[in-house]
Amino acid sequence: MVKRKLAFRKKRQNRLAMFLVTMAVLMLLIVVGIKSIELREKQRVYAAKEIALEQQIAAEEKRAEEVEEFRKYTKTKKYAEEVAKDRLGLVHDGEIIFKEKE
């Protein structure tokens, strides 16, 4: 009779242990699943940021090229003449300026 009670008690303890282990594994699976979803969302957000930053880099590179071209243009004689005419009102010798009447 004592052996029977011990066998029943061990069987009951084994069932309880298996239930607790199963619950722990299920809880871990749930946590991992939730974190996986959160990480996928973060990855999507970061991918969108990466695309936006790449577009911004391309725009800045284009702007840098335009600035470099303007820098080269400002060193030309043609640019100096345009600035002298537009801002300073200077003219070449023998050049006639016509102004409209107001």
Query: Quick one: average pLDDT of 78-91?
Result: 85
pLDDT at 71: 95
Reported confidence tier of residue 96, pLDDT bands at 50, 70, 90: confident
For residues 99 and 91, the answer to whether their CB atoms sit within 8 Å is: no
Query: Quick one: average pLDDT of 13-20?
Result: 87
d(CA 28, CA 21): 11
Q: Model pTM greater than 0.85?
A: no
Nearest residue to 95 via CA among 87, 1, 84 = 84
d(CA 4, CA 7): 5
